[in-house]
Amino acid sequence: MDPAIEATDLTKRYGDEAAVADLSLSIPDGSVYGFLGPNGAGKTTTMRMLTTLTRPTSGTARVAGADVRDRPAVVEHIGYLPEEPPVFDELTGREQLEYAAGLRDVGGDAAGRIDELLDRFGLSADADKRIGAYSKGMKQKVGIAIAILHEPAVLFLDEPTSGLDPRAARTVREVLAELAAGETTVFLSTHILPVVDELADTVGVLSEGRLVAEGAPDDLKSQVAEGGGGTLEDVFLAVTGGPESVESSPAEGASVVDGEGTAEAAEDGGGTDASTRERP
Amino acid sequence: MRRPSVRHVSLIVRTEARRRIRALSGSPLRAVLLLLGGGLLVVFQLGLAVAVYFLADRIAAGSTLPLARVVAAGAWTLFVVVTAVSIVSNRSSYDAMDGLLTTVPAADVATAMVFTEAGGAVLPFAPSVVLAPAAFGLATGSFRAALAGFVGLACLFATATLTGFVAGFAVKNLAVRSAFVARFRGVLAALVFLAYLAVITTQTGGQVAGPVARAVAATPVAWFADLALLPVAPVSVLAGVGALALSVCVAVGALAVVFPLTEALWYADRARPAARSTGSAATTTVTPGAFARLDGGPAGWIAHKSVLRARRAPVKLLFLAYPLFALVSPIGQAVQSGVVPALLAAYVAVYAAWAAGAGFALNPLGDEGAALPVSATSGVRGRTFARGHLLATAVVGAPIALVVTAVVGSFSPLAPVAVAALVVASAGLCVGAGGVAAGVGSVLPRFEAVRVTRSRRATVPSLLAFVVYSVVLLVTASPAMAVAVPLVRDWLAGALGAGDTTLLVAGTAVSLLLVGIAGYLGYRLAANRFDDYTV
C-alpha cells in the first residue's frame, strides 16, 4: 500500500537560505506522525508544502497518492488546521461549520455531523454566539472541528492543543486517537511533547530545515538514556543541539542524523519503513 | 499620592514620540501628507502673524476686542473638543499599556500622557503662540505687549488642552462602563459620521460653530483675549488678572481629577456587549441562506458568508463612504435649489455599482484572513470562489443600485427614458463591478489589518486596488454617464446626428459591453489567483 505521506528530498529555499532541505518522509496510512522541532526549524514550511500552500523548490512529495503540486488532487483528501484558527469573528460557531461544510460539499447528514462535533467539543451552548466573543481555546476547537468535519484521509494539525484547557486538550487527544484508530493519517506538529508521546506512532525532529531524528517515541527515548528513563524532551534537546548529547548507539528502529546530515541508523538491516529509513 | 517620577515621565514621552516618528517613516505617503498639511498650517500661521502686524493699531485701540474675545472662546472650545475627541477615540492609552502599568505607577503614565497629548495638540500651533505676539510686539514697539500676548495664548492653549484631556477621560470612563455604548458602538459612530457629513454637505458649519463660540465668549474663557492685550489695549484689568487666576484654577483642578480619572479608566471593569447570537432557532442548516435558490453549492456559501460578515462588521466598509465626499457640492446645490442635478443622478448610478463591487469583492483573498489557507485547500475551485463574490455583489448591489438610481433620477430634470437608461446601466454595472473588483483585488490584495477608525483595525482593500478598480469602473461607466447628462448628449446629438433615445441606448449598451468584458477578465483573473495561491 502507498504511504499516506511520502516526501523525497523535499526542499524549500528562500533565496540562498534553505527553510527545508532534502526532507524525506514515508508515513504509513492510519498512523500519527509527531513532527517536532525548535522555532524556525521549518515545520510550518514543511506543512505548507505538504498541504500545497507553498511550492517546493525541489524534491517530490505525495499526499494520499497525489502530487503536492496538484492542489485539486491533494485537497480532496486533507484536513488542515493552521497555527491561527481559520475562523471569521463575525460568524457564529455553527455558521462557521455550516460554511465549511458548504465549501467541502459535505454530503449525507452534514447538519448531524456539525451538531455532533459541536457537542463533542463542548461548543453546543455557545454555537449561536459570534466567534468574536469566543476564547482562544473555543476558536481553536472550532478550527479543529473544521479540519475533521469532512473526515479527511490525511489530517495536518499545527499546534492543535495550543490555547486549550486540560479538559479540551484531552478531548482533542481522544478525537485524534479515534481518527488514527480508523484510517486517518495524522501529521501533528506541536511543541507539547506529552501529546506526541501519547499519540504518535513515529516522531520526526526537524532542526534547521533538516530531519535530524526519526523513530518510534520509545526507540528515540531509549537512545538518550540507556536503561530507560529518557523522555522526548531529552531526545529533542539532544538532537537539536541542547545540553544532552546522544552518545549511545541508536536503538533498533530509530535513526539519528548528525549535524552533517549523516545517518546513524539502527543495526536492524536498514529497513525502509518510516521508523528506520536512512536519510542522506 | 506619590509624585510622578520625572525620569519615568520623560522616558515615556520620548519613547512615544520616537514611536510616532518611526511609524511615519514607515509610511512615506502619510509622512508626505503630514508634511504638506503641516506646511500649509505654518503658512497659514505666518499669514496670521502678518495680519496681526498690520492690524496691531486697531487691535491696540480696542475696537476689535469683542471679536478677539469670540475668537479666543472659539479657539479654546475647538481645542477642548479636538483633545477630548482624540482621548475618547484613541489616545486614552498607550500601546502595550499592561506592560507600562505593571512597570511604573499609573500617575507616571498619566502625567506622560498629558505631556504627549499637549505636545501633539499644541505643537502644530506653536508658531502662532510665538509669532503672533512677536508681530504684535514689533508693531506696537512694546515688549510687554509681546509678552502678554504670549502668556495669554499659552494660557489659552494649556487650559484648553487640560480641560479637553479631563473631559475626554470623563466621557471615556462613562462610555466604557455603558453596556449601551458597548452594544451600539458602531451605530453611534455611524450617526456621528452622518451628522458630520450633513454639516459638511449643507455647509452649515458656521451656523453650528458661531452660536457656540458666542456662548463661550460670555464666560471667563473670553478673558484670555483681555490678558493677551492687557498692556496696550483698553481692556479690563480685572478680566486679565481673572484669566491668570482661571488658568491656575484649571491647572490645579485638572491635576486633582486627572489621576483618579485615568486610573479609573485603566483599571475599569469594562462593560461587554452580550455575546450576540443569531437570534434564529438553534438548528443546524446546510443551505446558504437566501443564496440557496441561486446557488446551493460553495459559490452560494461564499456569497452568503460575505454578506453576513459585511452586515455584522460594517466598519470594514467605512471606506465606501470616501467617494461620498465628492457628493458634498452637488447635494448642497440640490438642497439649496430643491432640484437634483442630472450629474448627481449619473454619479449615484455609478457610485451604487462601485460600492457593491468594492464592498463585497475588492479584497477577496485578504478578506479571508486566517481562513485563507483552509479555504485554498478546501477543494473549492477558483472559478467557484470568484463566482461567490460576483453573486454577493450582484444579488445585494443590483437591487439597491436600481432603486436608488430610479429614486434620485426621478427627482432630477432627466427625461424618463434617460432615467431608465441610467437604471439599467447601474444594475448592469453592479454585476460587472463584482468581476472587476475580484480581479483587481486578487492581483493587488491586502492581507494585513489597518486602522479604519482610531480604535478599530480591519483588513480593507489596498489603496492601489481601490484606485485601479475605481478607474476601470469609471472608464466602463463613462459612455452611459455621458449620454445621461443633457449637455453632453446634446453635443453628441449635434455631432453625430443621432436622436436622444438612440444615444441613450447606445451609451448604455457600450458601457454594459465594456463592463461585461472587464468583469469577465477580472473574474478569470481572480479564479486563477485563487487556484495558484501560495505563501
DSSP letter for each residue of B333-373? HHHHHSS--HHHHHHHHHHHHHHHHHHHHSSTTGGGGGGHH
Burial A86-112 (b: 16+ CB within 10 A, else e): bbbbbbbbbbbbbbbbbbbebeeebbe
User: What mean pLDDT is predicted for residues A178-196?
Assistant: 89
**Chain A positions in Cβ-Cβ contact with residue B297 (cut-off 8 Å):** 102, 105
Between B466 and B317, the higher pLDDT residue: B466
**Number of residue pairs across A and B with CB atoms under 8 Å?**
123
In A140-257, beta strands by DSSP E: 154-158, 185-189, 202-207, 210-215, 254-257
- Range with lowest mean pLDDT among A37-41, B191-195, B260-264: B191-195
**Which DSSP string corresponds to B180-224?**
HHHHSHHHHHHHHHHHHHHHHHTT-HHHHHHHHHHHHHTSGGGHH
Of all residues in chain B, the percent with pLDDT exceeding 90 is: 40
Between B147 and B313, the higher pLDDT residue: B147
Q: Give the residue on B whose Cα is nearest the Cα of A45.
A: B535
For the cut 80, the answer to whether the pLDDT of residue B74 exceeds it is: yes
- Range with lowest mean pLDDT among A88-97, A186-195, B51-60: B51-60
User: What mean pLDDT is predicted for residues A127-138?
Assistant: 90
How does residue B435 score in pLDDT terms, banded at 50, 70 and 90?
Answer: very high
Q: If you search the block for the grid coordinates 467539543, which residue do you land on?
A: A121
Q: Which of B445, B435, B363, B431 is nearest to B400 (CA)?
A: B431
Distance separating alpha carbons of residues A127 and A144, to the nearest angstrom: 15
Between B373 and B24, the higher pLDDT residue: B373
Between B310 and B339, the higher pLDDT residue: B310
Residues A212-231 pLDDT 10s: 999 999 888 887 766 556 78
Does B530 lie at the interface with A, CB-CB under 8 angstroms?
A: no
Does B282 lie at the interface with A, CB-CB under 8 angstroms?
A: yes
Angle separating helix axes B463-484 and B486-496, nearest 10 degrees: 60
pLDDT for the residue numbered A261: 43
Q: Which of B476, B464, B474 is nearest to B440 (CA)?
A: B464
pLDDT for the residue numbered A242: 54
Of all residues in chain B, the percent with pLDDT exceeding 70 is: 96
pLDDT for the residue numbered A279: 33
- Range with lowest mean pLDDT among B286-290, B355-359, B416-420, B499-503: B286-290
pLDDT for the residue numbered B280: 53
**Chain A positions in Cβ-Cβ contact with residue B271 (cut-off 8 Å):** none
User: Are the Cβ atoms of B531 and A82 closer than 8 angstroms?
Assistant: no
Q: Give the residue on B whose Cα is nearest the Cα of A72.
A: B379
- Range with lowest mean pLDDT among A151-155, B163-167, B292-296: B292-296
For the cut 60, the answer to whether the pLDDT of residue B350 exceeds it is: yes
Residues B267-284 pLDDT 10s: 877 776 665 555 554 688
User: Are the Cβ atoms of B286 and A92 closer than 8 angstroms?
Assistant: no
For the cut 60, the answer to whether the pLDDT of residue B42 exceeds it is: yes
ipTM of the complex: 0.75
Residues B88-138 pLDDT 10s: 887 788 877 877 888 888 889 999 988 888 888 778 888 888 888 999 889
Between B304 and B486, the higher pLDDT residue: B304
Between B125 and A34, the higher pLDDT residue: A34
Give which of B270, B284, B317, B448 to mutate to test A binding, by max A Cβ within 10 Å: B284
Q: Which of B398, B433, B402, B443 is nearest to B420 (CA)?
A: B402
Does B375 lie at the interface with A, CB-CB under 8 angstroms?
A: yes
**Chain A positions in Cβ-Cβ contact with residue B280 (cut-off 8 Å):** 128
Highest mean pLDDT among A182-196, B1-15, B430-444: B430-444
Residues B505-527 pLDDT 10s: 999 999 999 999 999 999 999 99
Distance separating alpha carbons of residues B446 and A138, to the nearest angstrom: 27
For the cut 70, the answer to whether the pLDDT of residue B463 exceeds it is: yes
For the cut 50, the answer to whether the pLDDT of residue A264 exceeds it is: no
Give which of B305, B385, B532 to mutate to test A binding, by max A Cβ within 10 Å: B305
CA angle B426, B427, B431 (to 5 degrees): 115
CA distance A127 to chain B (A): 8
User: Are the Cβ atoms of A103 and B298 closer than 8 angstroms?
Assistant: yes
User: What mean pLDDT is predicted for residues B147-167?
Assistant: 92
For the cut 50, the answer to whether the pLDDT of residue A280 exceeds it is: no
User: Are the Cβ atoms of A114 and B308 closer than 8 angstroms?
Assistant: no
Other CB atoms within 10 Å distance of the CB of residue A242? 13
Q: Give the residue on A whose Cα is nearest the Cα of B276.
A: A129
**Chain A positions in Cβ-Cβ contact with residue B275 (cut-off 8 Å):** 126, 129-130, 133
